[in-house]
């Protein structure tokens, strides 16, 4: 059957639509042809597919062919069945008849003859030529047509339709189309059934020796082709798939050694999209198909159908798998194929497939995920093509132009070398080319990397090419001798090691070897690298038939251009797919090419993408490969900001990735830029490089307002010391987010050593709260840097150098304001007035050091510091204050507290350091000054205690303390001073001899034991001492000890004397003065004590130890003695009322003559003075004046004053005083009232009285 193949192929190429036969019985075709052909191609046809399911075919092309046409005649029956698909799918019989008889006799038998062939699908079109207006003719035609229908229609099927040439034809064409479709459908069904049956029969014999794939193929493809012309592409595709499966199943049956194919010129160009490239006859050999051509043919047919189905994405993905699997098949046959046939084929296949699918694919054609998948496949195709292309380039010596990147290394070093049966040999006339290549090989030197980074280049070759090529040469036995011939077996590998001298040797040596005539020997000796390149180039030239591809390999420039195109194609496709990483990585390869060609701008952009990808996911090893390139581009582009950040990133990469020398180079670049005048200084983020943390342990605790120091650990990732011009660190309050972070700054330069550094920063006073570390900023040279990275007590983890983790542990806690110290007086009881006394001030620090504290002392009025004496300080003994404690611990002797002397300078005292944390007492010698003499009071009367205020003195204290004397504590302390005694007296008894016994009662007012040594009473005029008259008490029992708070009495005997005092002093002193000499023994901790001066002089000087207390006593002469009596006359009985005038009357009566000592010219006049509270009383009349009072005893006068009470209540009435007369000489009889009752004003009744 193979002989039918050419015919089959020619039919296939010339035939592409359904044929409909027209049996023109009565020469009507020319008349109706136009109308019929206008219906073509058929729209919206419903056909049945192989599984008998209706399929909508949008457009079905067809052709009407007369049965008399040559194309439908003269076919052999066998041909007919084999190529049945090209037989007519329907037979349309065109008839017309105007006469019933004619129909019966002539037409009907003829028609019966035509339609008797049951195999054909037929129907009759009756054409009525009757004009519309001719009823006769129309009637006739109808009759004939009716007859026709009766004769040819069956119950199952109508086979007639009628076309009125001159009448309305509304339904005819639909009817016609429906009938044609029915015929086509039926024919198709029958033919499918036929083919299937045949195919089934054949495939049953598939594994039998008689089986012939060629027959199977023709049947199968005929069926597929029939589907294709019926536009049932889906079914056609399925047939091809089955065909391919069947082929692959049977092609490699063992024992059948077949020719693989692919050795013809031009086979290197893939024909996987071109089914017609090779005639089927060329594919077939001995009844079997050559795999190389036939598999491509099958795929081409499939692809064609897929394109027709608008599924280029499916074509692409099927194509990719096809290429991969076909490439494997090629690999198996590599020894019989031309050199590098496999690589070339893959390149052309990938390019053809990707171009074809891309041109047919329109965006939005498919669902988004299908689109992504499509672009992924496109990317894969480009990438595969790129790999193979690089391999070819490497083989002909362009290896040095291929970037030794991880991508290229991954694709090339895992890809085995081509395995030809024999490695191509060097053509004899290639000496000049070898020389040129050699020169090229020798000249190539790896581009030095920026920063002097040296790395072992990644391999691009699975094994050393030199060895591989020589091993595959037929004439050479294995050996390593060849390696001696070329110093550079692995072009880039050892470049760093080869010094210029061996290089020169190599050149001379190769020159020697390549002298003319030397090439003949190349069969026997191992080939050198340059020779391998040249040989490969020649072999490739034979293999590659595609001019464009060859051109791309012809020169380095062309090679690079193609390489760039392929890389770009792959990258762009990947970018539109899911595989972003693939795309970005290839961008890096594109960047490398631009970089090499000094197109730094584009290169930098692309490199940045790559770096961002690697950095974002923490692939540091890969990043370390690309980042130096980016840095170099940025440096050349003068992108200082970018360059700096790249350098910083390089420094922050894992330490193991770079040598110390290289890291130092990075740092020196940073420092160089930082100190240069940058045009646009940029803040630098060194979070990955300098990290910081507070010290371990609890946070620093500060009191409010205190400055402090903060110790911070910095980790420097720089390989060398680096100087930071300034450094500041922000503190963020944890409790108060609104408030901006405050920076603490160290202005002096700090040199950071690599690794851990401890930095101490001074901390200005902060608000209360707890603080965490915020941001580290500072300057390196002119450059500001920031670091957000908080390290947890170790160097920054390189893993997460992009994540800024906020520290949560507080580093500093500033306490809320509280009292830090307390000052208090050490005693609560009174001290001695007018004596120098120790005043104790308790200084109690409250959990706060008073180191360096200074106390300012400012005494208030009436108090002065005895500066001549030192100031003492001692530890405060709590037990002395707390008796209860002391009682509980009787056996524990109170430790002698050490007393230190201090001096007062300018009113301030510097407290010693040892007191900084303990409660101490500061003893200050003070003397309260009181001018007046204390007055004794008559006993029995309510003891008019001295006003407390009188003895109160204040000391204003100010304590400056804290770390920087920033804390101040001010307090005013009140200290109570008092006289030792309160003196009262009474006349105890009045003897007959006129001697009065005067008892003086001394009430101790201090918490100290007083010892009275002596008492002396200086009497006022009019009194004299009875007895000895030395002024001493009547009985002497001194010393008299007065315990605290107790009383003592001293008795004096005195008498009235008429004689005036002799001394002048006496005259001036109207009061009696009590002088008491006493000593005091008391503790200064409790209250009054021995005055400072006494204490200092010591107890031996007994006399000097006596203190003197003076108190004035007023003694009144007896009642008869007064020379004037003042009597208050009774008030009116009606009482006093506010607003009611009242007359106050005093009667003044002279009792006896005025005494001589009352020297006055106007003895008959008396000065009076009404003492009144003006708020309560209004006085009418003279308040003060003279009234005449005769000197004769018994003379009297009444002084009347008109008064008006102003306030209701008990008020003090006006008092009459006689200022000129001594109080002792005035007797009040009757005495005036202390208070009078003043009634409220009388109600005004004028409105209340009824008229």
Range 798-827, binding another protein (CB under 8 A):
799-800
Instruction: Please spell the DSSP secondary structure of 923-937, one letter per residue.
Output: EEEEEE---SPPB-E
Binding residue for another protein, selected from 253, 332, 410, 899, defined by CB under 8 A = 410
Which spans in 413-554 are helix H? 431-443, 465-471, 482-485, 500-513, 529-543, 547-554
C-beta atoms surrounding 263 within 10 Å: 14
Q: Choose between 495 and 1083: whose C-beta lies nearer to another protein.
A: 495
Q: Shortest Cβ distance from residue 578 to another protein (Å)?
A: 4
- Cβ 674 to another protein, closest distance in Å? 31
Q: Closer to another protein at the Cβ: 578 or 804?
A: 578
Closest approach of another protein to the CB of residue 331, in Å: 8
Contact 883, 944 (CB under 8 A): no
Residue list 414-433, contact with another protein (CB under 8 A): 414-416
Member of 81, 413, 554, 897 binding another protein (CB under 8 A) = 413
Specify the 3-state DSSP secondary structure of 90: strand
Residue 793 is a binding residue for another protein (CB under 8 A) = no
CA distance 207 to 320: 30
**Which residues make beta-bridge pairs with 872?**
901, 923
- Report the 10 Å Cβ neighbour count for 1027: 12
How does strand 700-702 pair with strand 812-814?
Answer: parallel
Contact segment (CB under 8 A) with another protein among 41-49, 572-580, 686-694, 1093-1101 equals: 572-580
Closest separation between CB of residue 762 and another protein, Å?
Answer: 35
Q: Candidates 146, 245, 253, 324: give the one binding another protein (CB under 8 A).
A: 324
Q: Which residues contact 242 (CB under 8 A, 6 or more apart)?
A: 220
* Residue 1099: CA count within 13 A, CB half-sphere: 4
In whole angstroms, the minimum distance from the beta carbon of 183 to another protein comes to 44
State the Cα–Cα distance between residues 197 and 570, nearest whole angstrom: 47
Of 688 and 1079, the one with the shorter C-beta distance to another protein is: 688
CA 79, CA 10: separation in Å to the nearest integer? Answer: 13
- What tokens were used for 962? 């804290």
CB of 458 to another protein, least distance (A): 5
Q: Compute φ and ψ for 68, nearest 5 degrees.
A: -85, -5
Contact of 295 with 319, CB cutoff 8 Å: no
Please tell me whether residue 406 binds another protein under the rule CB under 8 A: yes
Q: Find the binder of another protein among 112, 328, 672, 753 (CB under 8 A).
A: 328
Question: How far apart are the C-alpha atoms of 1045 and 917, rounded to whole Å?
Answer: 37
Q: What is the smallest separation between the CB atom of 407 and another protein, expressed in angstroms?
A: 6
1180 counts as binding another protein under rule CB under 8 A: no
Contact between 468 and another protein by CB under 8 A: the answer reads no
Q: Which residues contact 195 (CB under 8 A, 6 or more apart)?
A: 84, 219, 222, 223, 226
Give 204 or 799: the residue with its C-beta nearer to another protein.
799
Nearer to another protein, 49 or 789 (CB): 789
Residue 612 touches another protein, criterion: CB under 8 A: no
808 vs 819 by CB, closer to another protein: 808
- Please report, as residue ranges, which positions from 1092 to 1111 form the binding site for another protein (by CB under 8 A): none
CB 505 within 8 A of CB 404: no
Among 142, 581, 655, 1137, interactor with another protein by CB under 8 A: 581
With beta carbons less than 8 A apart as the criterion, state whether 18 and 62 touch.
yes
Other residues' Cβ atoms within 10 Å of the Cβ of residue 214: 19
Out of 38, 119, 369, 1064, the residue judged to bind another protein by CB under 8 A: 369
Look at the alpha carbons of 811, 817, 823, 828 in this order and tell me if their dihedral is positive or negative.
Answer: negative
In the bound state with another protein, the residue whose beta carbon lies nearer, of 180 and 586, is 586
Q: Which stretch binds another protein (CB under 8 A): 403-411, 560-568, 993-1001, 1041-1049?
A: 403-411
Among 622, 653, 690, 776, interactor with another protein by CB under 8 A: 622
Name the residue with tokens 């109160």. Answer: 952
Total binding residues toward another protein, as defined by CB under 8 A? 33
- As measured in angstroms, the least distance from the Cβ of 700 to another protein is 28
Q: How many CA atoms lie within 13 A of 189 on its CB side?
A: 14
What are the phi and psi torsion angles at 859 (to 5°)?
-85, 145
Enumerate residues 6+ apart whose C-beta is below 8 A from 521: none
Comparing CB distances to another protein, the nearer of 175 and 589 is 589
| 458 counts as binding another protein under rule CB under 8 A | yes
Stretch near another protein under the rule CB under 8 A, chosen from 30-38, 347-355, 575-583, 1196-1204: 575-583
Residue 399 CB, nearest distance to another protein (Å)? Answer: 16
Segment near another protein (CB under 8 A), from 6-14, 321-329, 908-916, 1050-1058? Answer: 321-329
Closer of 407 and 985 to another protein (Cβ): 407
Question: 794 vs 1060, which CB is nearer to another protein?
Answer: 794
Which residue of 241, 685, 797, 874 would you call a contact of another protein, by CB under 8 A?
A: 797
454 binds another protein (CB under 8 A): no
Q: Which two tokens stand for residue 230?
A: 């019926």
The whole-angstrom separation of Cα 1118 and Cα 241 is: 156
End-to-end CA distance of the chain: 161
Examine residue 617 and tell whether it contacts another protein (CB under 8 A): yes
DSSP string, 231-283: T-HHHHHHHHHHHHHHHHHHHT-TT--------STTTTS--TT-TTSS-HHHH
Among 123, 313, 579, 600, binds another protein (CB under 8 A): 579
618 binds another protein (CB under 8 A): yes
β-strands 783-787, 769-780 pairing:
antiparallel
Confirm if 273 and 322 have CB atoms less than 8 A apart. no
Find the binder of another protein among 407, 532, 831, 853 (CB under 8 A): 407
Q: Enumerate the β-bridge partners of residue 773.
A: 731
Q: Which window, 212-220, 573-581, 632-640, 844-852, contacts another protein (CB under 8 A)? A: 573-581
| CB closer to another protein out of 246 and 624 | 624
- Distance of closest approach, residue 383 Cβ to another protein, in angstroms: 10
Give yes or no for a contact between 1138 and 1241, defined as CB atoms under 8 angstroms apart. yes
Task: Supply the minimum distance, in Å, between the C-beta of residue 649 and another protein.
Answer: 16
Residues 1002 and 110: their CA atoms lie apart, in Å, by 175
Q: Does 625 bind another protein (CB under 8 A)?
A: yes
Interacting span for another protein (CB under 8 A) from 639-647, 797-805, 827-835, 955-963? 797-805
**Residue 1208, Cβ neighbours under 10 Å: how many?**
16
Nearer to another protein, 598 or 799 (CB): 799
In the block, residue with structure tokens 């006049």: 1165
Provide the 10 A C-beta neighbour count for residue 219.
23
Of the candidate residues 153, 327, 916, 1229, the single one contacting another protein (CB under 8 A): 327
Q: How far apart are CA 351 and CA 478, in angstroms?
A: 38
Confirm or reject binding of residue 329 to another protein (CB under 8 A). Answer: no
Span interacting with another protein, options 232-240, 402-410, 516-524, 928-936, rule CB under 8 A: 402-410
Q: Locate tokens 């689109």: which residue?
A: 371
Given 153, 186, 409, 746, the residue binding another protein (CB under 8 A): 409
Residues near another protein (CB under 8 A) are: 324, 327-328, 369, 376, 406-407, 409-411, 413-416, 456, 458-459, 578-582, 585, 614, 617-619, 621-622, 625, 797, 799-800
């Amino acid at each position: 059957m193979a002989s039918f193949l050419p015919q089959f192929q020619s039919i296939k190429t010339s035939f592409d639509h359904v044929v409909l036969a027209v049996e023109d019985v009565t020469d009507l075709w020319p008349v109706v042809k136009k109308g019929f052909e206008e219906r073509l191609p058929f729209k919206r046809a419903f056909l049945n597919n192989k599984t008998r399911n209706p399929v909508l075919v949008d457009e079905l092309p067809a052709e009407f062919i007369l049965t008399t046409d040559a194309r439908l005649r003269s076919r052999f029956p066998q041909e007919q069945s084999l190529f049945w698909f090209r037989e007519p799918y329907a037979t349309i019989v065109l008839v017309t008849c105007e006469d019933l008889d004619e129909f019966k006799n002539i037409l009907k038998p003829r028609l019966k003859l035509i339609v008797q062939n049951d195999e054909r699908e037929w129907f009759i079109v009756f054409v009525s030529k009757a004009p519309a207006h001719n009823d006769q003719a129309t009637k006739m035609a109808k009759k004939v047509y009716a007859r026709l229908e009766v004769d040819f229609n069956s119950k199952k099927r109508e086979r007639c339709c009628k076309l009125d040439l001159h009448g309305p034809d509304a339904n005819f064409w639909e009817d016609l189309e429906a009938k044609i479709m029915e015929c086509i459908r039926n024919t198709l069904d029958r033919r499918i059934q036929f083919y299937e049956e045949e195919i089934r029969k054949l495939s049953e014999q598939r594994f039998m020796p008689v089986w012939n794939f060629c027959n199977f193929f023709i049947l199968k493809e005929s069926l597929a082709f029939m589907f294709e012309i019926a536009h049932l592409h889906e079914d056609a595709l399925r047939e091809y798939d089955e065909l391919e499966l069947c082929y692959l199943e049977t092609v490699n049956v063992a024992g059948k050694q077949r020719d693989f194919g692919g050795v013809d010129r031009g086979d290197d160009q893939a024909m996987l999209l071109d089914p017609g490239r090779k005639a089927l006859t060329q594919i077939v050999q001995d009844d079997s198909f050559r795999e190389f051509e036939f598999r491509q043919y099958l795929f081409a047919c499939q692809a064609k159908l897929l394109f027709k189905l608008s599924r280029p994405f499916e074509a692409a993905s099927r194509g990719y798998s096809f290429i991969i699997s076909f490439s494997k098949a090629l690999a198996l046959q590599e020894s019989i194929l031309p050199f590098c046939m496999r690589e070339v084929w893959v390149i052309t296949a990938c390019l053809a497939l990707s171009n074809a699918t891309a041109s047919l694919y329109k965006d939005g054609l498919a669902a988004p995920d299908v689109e992504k998948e499509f672009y992924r496949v496109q990317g894969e195709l480009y990438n595969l093509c790129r790999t193979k292309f690089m391999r070819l380039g490497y083989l002909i010596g362009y290896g040095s132009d291929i970037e030794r990147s991880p991508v290229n290394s991954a694709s090339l070093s895992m890809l085995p070398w081509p395995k030809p049966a024999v490695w191509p040999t060097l053509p004899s006339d290639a000496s000049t080319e070898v020389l040129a290549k050699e020169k090229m090989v020798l000249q190539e030197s790896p581009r030095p990397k920026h920063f002097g980074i040296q790395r072992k280049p990644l391999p691009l070759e699975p094994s050393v090419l030199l060895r591989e090529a020589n091993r595959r040469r037929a004439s050479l036995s294995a050996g390593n001798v060849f390696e001696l011939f070329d110093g550079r077996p692995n072009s880039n590998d050892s470049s760093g090691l080869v010094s210029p001298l061996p290089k020169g040797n190599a050149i001379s040596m190769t020159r020697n070897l390549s002298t003319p005539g030397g090439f003949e020997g190349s069969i026997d000796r191992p080939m050198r690298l340059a020779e391998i390149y040249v040989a490969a180039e020649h072999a490739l030239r034979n293999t590659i038939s595609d001019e464009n591809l060859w051109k791309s390999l012809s020169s380095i420039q062309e090679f690079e251009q193609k390489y760039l195109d392929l890389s770009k194609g792959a990258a762009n496709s990947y970018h539109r797919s899911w595989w972003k990483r693939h795309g970005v990585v290839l961008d890096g390869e594109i960047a490398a090419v631009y970089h090499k060609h000094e197109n730094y701008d584009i290169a930098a952009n692309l490199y940045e993408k790559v770096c961002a990808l690697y950095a974002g996911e923490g692939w540091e090893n890969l990043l370390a490969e690309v980042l130096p390139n980016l840095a170099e581009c940025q440096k050349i582009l003068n992108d200082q900001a970018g360059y700096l950040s790249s350098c910083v990133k390089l420094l922050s990469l894992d330490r193991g990735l770079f040598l110390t020398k290289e890291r130092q180079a990075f740092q020196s670049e940073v420092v160089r830029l930082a100190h240069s005048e940058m045009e646009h200084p940029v803040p630098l983020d060194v979070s990955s490089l300098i990290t910081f943390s507070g010290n371990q342990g609890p946070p620093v605790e500060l009191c409010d307002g205190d400055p402090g120091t903060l110790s911070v650990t910095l980790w420097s990732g720089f390989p060398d010391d680096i100087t930071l011009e300034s450094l500041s660190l922000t503190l963020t309050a944890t409790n108060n987010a609104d408030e901006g972070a405050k920076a603490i700054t160290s202005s002096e330069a700090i040199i950071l050593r690599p690794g851990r550094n401890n930095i101490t920063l001074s901390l200005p006073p902060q608000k209360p709260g707890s603080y965490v570390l915020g941001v580290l900023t500072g300057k390196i040279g002119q450059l500001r840097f920031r670091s957000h990275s908080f390290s947890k007590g170790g160097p920054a983890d390189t893993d997460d150098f992009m994540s800024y983790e906020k520290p949560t542990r507080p580093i500093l806690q500033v306490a809320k304001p509280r009292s830090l110290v307390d000052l208090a007086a050490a005693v609560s009881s009174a001290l001695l007035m007018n004596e120098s006394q120790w005043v104790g001030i308790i200084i109690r620090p409250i959990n706060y050091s008073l180191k360096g504290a200074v106390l300012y002392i400012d005494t208030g009025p009436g108090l002065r510091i005895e500066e001549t004496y030192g100031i003492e300080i001692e530890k405060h003994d709590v037990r002395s204050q707390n008796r209860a404690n002391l009682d509980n611990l009787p056996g524990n002797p109170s430790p002698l507290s050490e007393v230190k002397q201090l001096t007062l300078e300018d009113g301030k005292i510097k407290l010693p350091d040892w007191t900084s944390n303990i409660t101490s007492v500061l003893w200050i010698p003070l003397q309260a000054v009181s001018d007046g003499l204390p007055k004794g009071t008559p006993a029995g009367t309510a003891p008019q205690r001295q006003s407390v205020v009188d003895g109160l003195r204040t000391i204003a204290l100010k304590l400056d303390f804290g770390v920087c004397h920033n804390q101040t504590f001010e307090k005013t302390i009140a200290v109570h001073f008092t006289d030792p005694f309160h003196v009262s007296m009474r006349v105890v008894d009045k003897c007959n001899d006129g001697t009065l016994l005067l008892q003086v009662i001394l009430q101790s007012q201090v918490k100290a034991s007083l010892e009275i040594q002596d008492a002396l009473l200086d009497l006022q005029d009019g009194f004299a001492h009875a007895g000895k008259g030395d002024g001493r008490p009547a009985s002497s029992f001194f010393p008299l000890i007065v315990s605290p708070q107790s009383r003592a009495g001293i008795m004096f005997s005195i008498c009235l004397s008429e004689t005036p005092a002799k001394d002048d002093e006496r005259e001036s002193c109207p009061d009696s003065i009590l002088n008491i000499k006493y000593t005091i023994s008391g503790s200064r901790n409790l209250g009054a004590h021995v005055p400072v001066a006494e204490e200092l002089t010591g107890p031996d000087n007994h006399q000097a130890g006596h203190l003197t207390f003076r108190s004035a006593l007023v003694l009144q002469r007896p009642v008869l003695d007064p020379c004037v009596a003042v009597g208050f006359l009774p008030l009116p009985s009606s009482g006093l009322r506010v607003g009611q005038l009242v007359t106050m009357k005093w009667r003044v009566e002279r009792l006896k003559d005025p005494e001589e000592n009352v020297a006055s010219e106007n003895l008959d006049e008396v000065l009076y003075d009404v003492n009144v509270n003006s708020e309560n009383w209004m006085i009418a009349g003279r308040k003060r004046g003279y009234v005449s009072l005769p000197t004769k005893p018994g003379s009297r006068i009444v002084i009347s004053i008109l008064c008006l009470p102003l306030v209701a209540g008990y008020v003090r009435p006006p008092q009459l005083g006689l200022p000129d007369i001594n109080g002792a000489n005035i007797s009040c009889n009757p005495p005036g009232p202390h208070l009078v009752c003043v009634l409220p004003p009388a109600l005004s009744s004028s409105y209340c009285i009824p008229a």
